[in-house]
Structure 1
Amino acid sequence: MPLAAPDLDAAYESCRQETATWAKTFYLGTLLLPYEKRRAIWAIYVWCRRTDELMDSAEAQARPVSELADRLDRWEENTRGIFSGQVTSDLDAVMVDTLERFPQSIQPYLDMIEGQRMDLTWTRYATFDDLRLYCYRVAGTVGLMTQGVMGLDAAYTTAPWSDVPNTSDAAVALGIANQLTNILRDVGEDRGRGRIYLPQEDLTRFGYSEEDLLAGRLNDAWRELMAFQLERARAWFARSEAGIRWLSADARWPVWTSLRLYRGILDVIEQLDYDVFQNRAYVGRLGKMLELPRSFVIAQTR
Structure 2
Amino acid sequence: MSVALLWVVFPNSQLSRYIGFIDSVRDGNRLIDSSRFVYRARRFMFNSRPNKYKKQKWNSYSFDIDFRHPCLRGINLPEITMVASTAGEMAVTSVEKVYSVVLKQAALVNRQLRSTAERDVKPGIVLPGNLNLLSEAYDRCGEVCAEYAKTFYLGTLLMTPERRKAIWAIYVWCRRTDELVDGPNASHITPTALDRWESRLEDLFQGRPFDMLDAALADTVAKFPVDIQPFRDMIEGMRMDLKKSRYKTFDELYLYCYYVAGTVGLMSVPVMGIAPESQATTESVYNAALALGIANQLTNILRDVGEDARRGRVYLPQDELAQAGISDEDIFAGKVTDKWRNFMKNQIKRARMFFDEAEKGVTELSEASRWPVWASLLLYRQILDEIEANDYNNFTKRAYVSKVNKIAALPISYARSLIRSSRKALAEV
Same fold flag (TM > 0.5): yes
- Partners of 2:310 and 2:151 lie apart in 1 by 25
Q: Which residue of 2 aligns with 1:73?
A: 195
Query: Is 1:190 the counterpart of 2:319 in the alignment?
Result: no
Pairing partner for 1:51 from 172, 177, 181:
177
- Partners of 1:20 and 1:203 lie apart in 2 by 39
Query: Is 1:105 the counterpart of 2:223 in the alignment?
Result: no
Query: Is 1:130 the counterpart of 2:256 in the alignment?
Result: no
- Partners of 2:383 and 2:155 lie apart in 1 by 15
Query: Is 1:165 the counterpart of 2:287 in the alignment?
Result: no
Measured at CA, do residues 16 and 276 of structure 1 come closer, stay the same or move farther in structure 2, by a change above 3 Å? Answer: farther
Q: Which residue of 2 aligns with 1:203?
A: 321
Measured at CA, do residues 249 and 210 of structure 1 come closer, stay the same or move farther in structure 2, by a change above 3 Å? Answer: same
- Partners of 2:419 and 2:144 lie apart in 1 by 33
Query: Is 1:23 the counterpart of 2:168 in the alignment?
Result: no
For the aligned residues, what is the CA RMSD? 1.9
Query: Is 1:13 the counterpart of 2:160 in the alignment?
Result: no
The structural deviation recorded for 1:279 is: 2.3
Deviations 1:262-290 (A, max 9, x none): 11111111112222222222212211111
- Partners of 2:273 and 2:318 lie apart in 1 by 39
Residue type of the partner of 2:146?
A: A
Q: Which residue of 1 aligns with 2:212?
A: 90
| 1:251-266 matched pairs, under 5 angstroms | 251-266=369-384
The structural deviation recorded for 1:24 is: 4.1
Q: Which residue of 1 aligns with 2:98?
A: none
Structure 1 or 2: more helix by fraction? 1
Kept after mapping to 1: 8 A contact 2:258/2:294: yes
Kept after mapping to 2: 8 A contact 1:11/1:90: yes
Measured at CA, do residues 90 and 257 of structure 1 come closer, stay the same or move farther in structure 2, by a change above 3 Å? Answer: same
Residue type of the partner of 2:162?
A: E
User: Which structure 2 segments of 5+ residues have no match?
Assistant: 1-125, 421-429
Residue type of the partner of 2:338?
A: D
Q: Normalising by structure 2, what TM-score? A: 0.65
Q: Which moved more, 1:217-226 or 1:129-138?
A: 217-226
- Partners of 1:32 and 1:284 lie apart in 2 by 24
Q: Which residue of 2 aligns with 1:35?
A: 161
- Partners of 1:279 and 1:28 lie apart in 2 by 29
- Partners of 1:29 and 1:226 lie apart in 2 by 32
Q: How many matched pairs?
A: 293
Pairing partner for 2:243 from 117, 121, 128:
121
Kept after mapping to 1: 8 A contact 2:224/2:270: yes
Kept after mapping to 2: 8 A contact 1:29/1:258: no
Measured at CA, do residues 213 and 231 of structure 1 come closer, stay the same or move farther in structure 2, by a change above 3 Å? Answer: same
Percent of aligned positions with the same letter in both sequences? 53
Kept after mapping to 1: 8 A contact 2:230/2:264: yes
- Partners of 1:181 and 1:32 lie apart in 2 by 27
- Partners of 1:33 and 1:215 lie apart in 2 by 47
- Partners of 2:352 and 2:157 lie apart in 1 by 25
Residue type of the partner of 2:298?
A: L
Deviations 1:37-65 (A, max 9, x none): 222112111111111122222321x33xx
The structural deviation recorded for 1:4 is: 4.1
Measured at CA, do residues 5 and 88 of structure 1 come closer, stay the same or move farther in structure 2, by a change above 3 Å? Answer: same
The structural deviation recorded for 1:36 is: 2.6
Kept after mapping to 2: 8 A contact 1:76/1:113: yes
The structural deviation recorded for 1:32 is: 3.9
User: Which structure 1 segments of 5+ residues have no match?
Assistant: 157-161
Deviations 1:95-119 (A, max 9, x none): 0121123231101111111111112
- Partners of 2:318 and 2:280 lie apart in 1 by 42
Higher Cα Rg, which structure? 2
Residue type of the partner of 1:54?
A: L
Deviations 1:151-189 (A, max 9, x none): 011124xxxxx6753221111111111111111111111
